[in-house]
Amino acid sequence: MSTIIRIGNYSRSSLLRRSFPNRIQFSTAELIDFGGGNRPAISTVKNIEKLLIANRGEIACRIIRTARRLGVETVAVYSDADRHSMHVAMADEAYHIGPSPAANSYLVKEKLLDIACQSKSDAIHPGYGFLSENFEFAQLCTDNDIIFVGPTPDSIRSMGIKSLSKSIMIKADVPVIPGFHDDHQQDSEDLLKHAKQIGFPVMIKAVRGGGGKGMRIAMNEQEFLSQLDSARREAMKSFGDDIVLLERFVQRPRH
């Protein structure tokens, strides 16, 4: 059994009709499939009438504009630094979430969940960056009967954590760039040893990274430890996790 989600004034069927205005009727399968993936029989209907946006700036503004068109109320969150930002003024409601550093505000899962409950939000949209690829946060939303606008926790865990993604690909005999990934072996000197085995230059990547954050290139052994520290600091600041993996740096890639 599955759940169909109503977004503001629009159900999946009405969104389908808006997308294909010349069609008069749609089969049950089409109504269920619209929005991605084959789904089994529908068991419940969940409404999204109020949406909390767990992000800031231009990302949050875009989500607010779309939600407004769909008739969905919006809830913004802001840190000290973002108190006067546009997304705060645009949203129907706004809540202070903490001090300026993201690690103390936008990355604190429990604070976001508390505000979602306090504001009686039906769903949380993470935008991108921050907690958008954090499977623990997606699971926390699910456990508290709040819709997480994004993939399932299992999907995020499998593809959002790069070390796990590589393990899945290797198990499926998909070629991957040579490297080292082990979330439990993160001692700096051990990582340097593995970097030497891979051969310089090496790419250092935050396993939960995205958007180029938490990535550094070490061209040689002498600069490896400083680049490792830099990648870890940025990863912790951006994603709340400083675990990294290593890969051989491909200097002339062909996409």
Whether residue 13 has pLDDT greater than 80: no
Confidence of residue 5 (pLDDT cuts 50, 70, 90): low
User: In this structure, what is the dihedral angle of CA atoms 101, 105, 110, 113, given to the nearest 10 degrees?
Assistant: -150
Domain boundaries, the chain: 2-157, 162-248
If you classify domain 2-157 with CATH, what class do you get?
alpha beta
Residue 18: the pLDDT is 52
Least-confidence region, from 22-26, 134-138, 146-150, 188-192: 22-26
Q: Are 208 and 235 in contact (CB under 8 A)?
A: yes
Residue 87: the pLDDT is 98
Provide the mean pLDDT of the chain. 86
The widest CA-to-CA distance across the chain, in whole angstroms, is 67
Residue 50: which of 24, 76, 86 has the closest Cα? 76
Q: Which amino acid is at 247?
A: E
Q: Are 11 and 5 in contact (CB under 8 A)?
A: no
Q: Are 53 and 74 in contact (CB under 8 A)?
A: yes
Burial of 241-254, coded b for 16+ CB within 10 Å and e otherwise, reads bbbbbbbbbeeeee
Residue 11: the pLDDT is 52
| CATH of 162-248 among 3.30.1490.20, 3.30.70.270, 3.40.50.300, 3.20.20.70 | 3.30.1490.20
Mean pLDDT to the nearest integer, 229-249 = 93
Separation CA 35–CA 154 (nearest Å): 19
**Could you tell me which residues come within 8 angstroms of residue 212 by beta carbon, excluding any fewer than 6 positions away?**
none
Residue 1: the pLDDT is 44
Helix axes 135-143, 109-118, angle to 10 degrees: 30
Separation CA 102–CA 56 (nearest Å): 11
Q: Which amino acid is at 125?
A: H
The H-assigned helical ranges of the chain are 12-19, 28-33, 57-69, 86-90, 109-118, 135-143, 153-160, 162-171, 188-198, 221-239
CB half-sphere exposure, 191, CA atoms < 13 A: 26
Note the pLDDT tens digit of each residue in 37-76: 444 444 456 789 999 999 999 999 999 999 999 999 999 9
pTM of the model: 0.69
HEC string of 187-237 equals CHHHHHHHHHHHCCCEEEEECCCCCCCCEEEECCHHHHHHHHHHHHHHHHH
